[in-house]
Amino acid sequence: MNALGRHVLAEIFGCSFEVLNDVKKVEENMVNAALEAGAEVREYVFHKFSPQGVSGVVVISESHLAIHTWPELGYAAVDVFTCGEKVNPWDACNFLVEKFKAEYMTANEVKRGLIEGMPQAVNL
């Protein structure tokens, strides 16, 4: 299969409440996860919810990283989508597991883009 990108959907469990509820720590960890994976960071925006939780996105030249946290459950939903050969989305996910002080992660990788032998467009 000739994929344009790799999209890792990660479920990160058993995380530190304090880390997941701190918008600055989540932002810092997400930006550093992108850098750890070899990405070029372009922009980022994060929002702190009341009474708890953080959502945010890091736009990278190679695509994006996104997160939503449930600190009260010790859970973070993370997407890492990268295009090209240079950036490894798994490096970003593993970095976040460490920084969030997580107990474990489950994740799936989806290949995005063109598949050899398939039509480029489908009429629905």
**Residue 7 is a catalytic residue:** no
From the candidates 7, 15, 64, 68, give the one annotated as an active-site residue.
68
Report how far residue 67's alpha carbon sits from residue 97's, in angstroms, rounded to the nearest whole number: 13
Q: Express as a percent the part of the chain with pLDDT over 90.
A: 86
pLDDT at 15: 98
Residue 28 lies in a domain: yes
Residue 99 corresponds to which tokens in the numbers above? 């920084």
Could you report how far apart the first and last alpha carbons of the chain are, in Å?
A: 23
Residue 21 corresponds to which tokens in the numbers above? 């509820």
**Residue 68 is a catalytic residue:** yes
Task: Provide the residue count of the chain.
Answer: 124
| Domain of residue 95, CATH code | 3.60.90.10
Number of domains the chain contains: 1
Give residue for tokens 């600190």.
71
Residue 122 lies in a domain: no
Q: pLDDT, tens digit, for every residue of 6-29? A: 999 999 999 999 999 999 999 999
Give residue for tokens 């058993």.
14
Residue 32 lies in a domain: yes
Residue 123 lies in a domain: no
**Residue 61 is a catalytic residue:** no
Range of the domain at 27: 5-112
Range 59-74 average pLDDT:
98
